[in-house]
Structure 1
Amino acid sequence: MSVRLKLTLSYAGFLMLAGGLLLAVVWVFLLRYVPDHQLMTLGPHAPNRTDLQRAFAPRAGQALVFLLMFGLVGGWILAGRMLAPLTRITNATRRAATGSLSHRIQMEGRSDEFRELADAFDTMLAQLEAHVEEHRRFAANASHELRTPLAITQTLLEVARSDPNRDTGELVRILHAVNTRAIDLTEALLLLSRADQRAFTREHLDLSLLAEEATETLLPLAEKHGVTIETSGDITPTVGSSALLLQMTTNLLHNAIVHNLPADGIVSVHTESRYDASVLRVENTGDRLSSHLVPTLTEPFQRGTKRVRTGEHAGVGLGLAIVRSIVRAHDGTLDLTARHTGGLVVTVRLPPLSDQRLPS
């Protein structure tokens, strides 16, 4: 049976039960407990108890039949009106199951359980549509980025086959560089997928130690680019994946070094423990960034300036995208702000360690 029919039968059954109980009360307290002398006071033609019982029984039966019909019809109408919002939600769910995520229920009326369910469903559809669109754009960009080194490799091999006398040393060097970039891109994609899936073990960490480790690792790169790294801050406890948070810090620092001034650039790394968050802030000098460009920097394969980076530290355009995924996987927030004098300020806020314990 459908839910509407079940509700209808429930309404009719409850109405029949209430009517039966009411008739039983009339029967017990009116016919059985009314004294005979009170019936005699109605006059010489007053009915006796037997006459009342005979008259009451068919009338009671007629009343129950009326209540049954009234309960079925009224219950069917009321159940239909109550289930109408659920029908809209069901239809929207079926449309979503076919892949259509752009529609919304937008239920009108007062706030009740059905309205809350519809609003929650609309919110879920909006999030799903945004994620699907993001994944489609990411897949298209990833395919484009991976196709480039493969196309270059194919072209070089065709050139080598058509010209056997060509210098193989130069060819091998170029192929090695192209292959290295393809490997770096693949590893970045795998890391991004791992962060999105939250497939990691959480442990107690100190962000300041991770910042120091990343600084020591990238110090030769900073010296090569003529960039000075300044570090500050105290112990900053948090909880999360040591490998992912170190990757996050390294990516931020690498991005700040590479996208900096041609000479005499500065990168500032600061960690701070607050009552509501563990904060990591990376600030760098560099080119001026427009306000509409900054929010797009965390999108995959987006670069901050039109200047093309070349060399072994060119990057694959996934640095800040990986940072965003790692921060999101750790239930944190990521904020990017353009500096008035040029460059970028990146602030990461992660959940603090409540008991402030750190690993030994």
Structure 2
Amino acid sequence: MDRAPGLSVRLKLTLSYAGFLVVAGVLLLSAIGAFLWQEGWLQTTAEGAWRATPGTTFVRGFAPTAAAVMVFLLVFGLLGGWILAGRMLAPLDRITHATRTVANGSLSHRIRLPGRQDEFRELADAFDMMLARLEAHVAEQRRFAANASHELRTPLSVSKSLLEVARADPGRAADPLIDRLHTVNTRAIDLTEALLLLSRAGRRSFTREHVDLSLMAEEATETLLPLAEEHGVTLETDGDVAPTIGSPALLLQLTTNLVHNAIVHNLPQHGSVWVTTEARPKTVVLTVENTGEPITPESVSTLTEPFQRGTERVRSDQAGVGLGLAVVETITHAHDGTLVLTPRSAGGLRITVELRGAPLRE
């Protein structure tokens, strides 16, 4: 949620400590002054000014000394308060860092705050317990999806083989039902493979290697060029060498899904797709942009959800399985990257994937 800028908790605690110390100093000096007045060590002139009684040179430096003490207490309170507040809030900083890490998709992260029991450590332990339960629940869901997908692969493959034999039989009469069953079976196989890919990427069970995103973009566009020509879409690829560390297979799937999505969800005629890569100081960026019908921000926010196919933009012959961008988001998070979807003012969509950069290989 958006909030107006304000003082940090550490600065507030510092000012509180310093203010308390200064007030305590003022009270102490006031008590000393009252004691000296009561004992006759101090008198006031007719104008109301304080002065020492004759022969009591001890108290003549009281006012300057008191001022110096107050300045010392103020400086000491600010420095000491800043240090003490930092030490007191260090566990909270650690909890905040862990929360942000988990928000980026790393459910295996734990705070494990050391030390004796207190309020901060109770909060950290409760947070770790919540993460453990959440991770177990997500892992159970992924195992179920993976096991169900594995079980479906065999009967679907058998059905596909039988349908292909039936379609290839030269003696059979033209039967549109077989062709339709073949299409439905192919889509079911694609859905099963997508679920398996989601499960694999979500578990981060892959070997990380040196990958050039620009090569992934070139391979994806070359593979999908016939599809672009079929749909009358102009496909353009450009950009810098973009080295990163990750799974070549998953990053190629990510790029292919983005380009395929941009081709299919485009204008009926004379559409365009632009695929670019960029190398920044610490990150690399893959951008896929396409023309198309205008998209509302509300629709964009749901496109990465599983089985959300953006039906207002999708033609009936390319409905897909509804997991294209969900797979992209899962792969991006598995590589500790960020995915941003932005509607274009002229229509269409601009999708940006930003990953950690890596040194160029010689």
Shorter-chain TM-score tier: 0.5 to 0.7
RMSD: 3.3
**5 Å matches for 1:1-360?**
114-124=118-128, 125=130, 132=137, 169-311=175-317, 313-353=318-358, 355-357=359-361
Q: Percent identity?
A: 59
Change (3 A) 1:131 1:316: farther
Secondary structure at the aligned position of 2:304 is classed as coil
Task: Say whether the 8 Å CA contact 1:287–1:305 is kept in structure 2.
Answer: no
Question: What do the CA deviations read for 1:292-325 (whole angstroms, capped 9, x no partner)?
Answer: 22121111000224255333x4310000000011
> 2: distance between equivalents of 1:348 and 1:128?
30
Change (3 A) 1:308 1:216: closer
> 2: distance between equivalents of 1:262 and 1:138?
40
> 2: distance between equivalents of 1:342 and 1:134?
38
> If the length of structure 1 is used for normalisation, what is the TM-score?
0.56
Residue identity opposite 2:325 in structure 1: L
Question: What do the CA deviations read for 1:9-35 (whole angstroms, capped 9, x no partner)?
Answer: xxxxxxxxxxxxxxxxxxxxxxxxxxx
Secondary structure at the aligned position of 1:299 is classed as coil
The ranges of structure 1 where at least 4 consecutive aligned residues each deviate by more than 4 angstroms after the TM superposition are: 121-124, 126-140
Change (3 A) 1:138 1:218: farther
Change (3 A) 1:300 1:127: farther
> 2: distance between equivalents of 1:119 and 1:171?
61
Question: What do the CA deviations read for 1:207-238 (whole angstroms, capped 9, x no partner)?
Answer: 00110000000011111111111211111111
> 2: distance between equivalents of 1:287 and 1:126?
41
Residue identity opposite 2:280 in structure 1: R
> 2: distance between equivalents of 1:132 and 1:289?
34
Task: Say whether the 8 Å CA contact 1:138–1:300 is kept in structure 2.
Answer: no
Structure number, greater radius of gyration: 1
Change (3 A) 1:314 1:304: closer
> 2: distance between equivalents of 1:293 and 1:268?
22
Residue identity opposite 1:357 in structure 2: R
Residue 45 of structure 2 corresponds to none
Greater CA drift, 332-341 or 248-257:
332-341
Task: Say whether the 8 Å CA contact 1:232–1:269 is kept in structure 2.
Answer: yes
Number of positions where the alignment pairs a residue of Structure 1 with one of Structure 2: 228
Change (3 A) 1:202 1:290: same
> 2: distance between equivalents of 1:328 and 1:130?
15
Task: Say whether the 8 Å CA contact 1:192–1:325 is kept in structure 2.
Answer: yes
> 2: distance between equivalents of 1:301 and 1:253?
18
Question: What do the CA deviations read for 1:73-92 (whole angstroms, capped 9, x no partner)?
Answer: xxxxxxxxxxxxxxxxxxxx
Give the superposition deviation at 1:113: 5.6
> 1: distance between equivalents of 2:313 and 2:290?
17
Task: Say whether the 8 Å CA contact 1:289–1:304 is kept in structure 2.
Answer: no
> If the length of structure 2 is used for normalisation, what is the TM-score?
0.56
Give the superposition deviation at 1:139: 8.2
Residue identity opposite 2:354 in structure 1: R
Residue 41 of structure 1 corresponds to none
> 2: distance between equivalents of 1:135 and 1:287?
39
Secondary structure at the aligned position of 2:316 is classed as coil
Task: Say whether the 8 Å CA contact 1:333–1:348 is kept in structure 2.
Answer: yes
Residue identity opposite 2:277 in structure 1: T
Task: Say whether the 8 Å CA contact 2:337–2:355 is kept in structure 1.
Answer: yes
> 2: distance between equivalents of 1:130 and 1:288?
38
Give the superposition deviation at 1:117: 3.1
> 1: distance between equivalents of 2:345 and 2:122?
44
Give the superposition deviation at 1:131: 9.1
> 1: distance between equivalents of 2:361 and 2:223?
26
Residue identity opposite 1:304 in structure 2: G
Unaligned 5+ segments in structure 2 are 1-115, 160-171
Residue identity opposite 2:340 in structure 1: D
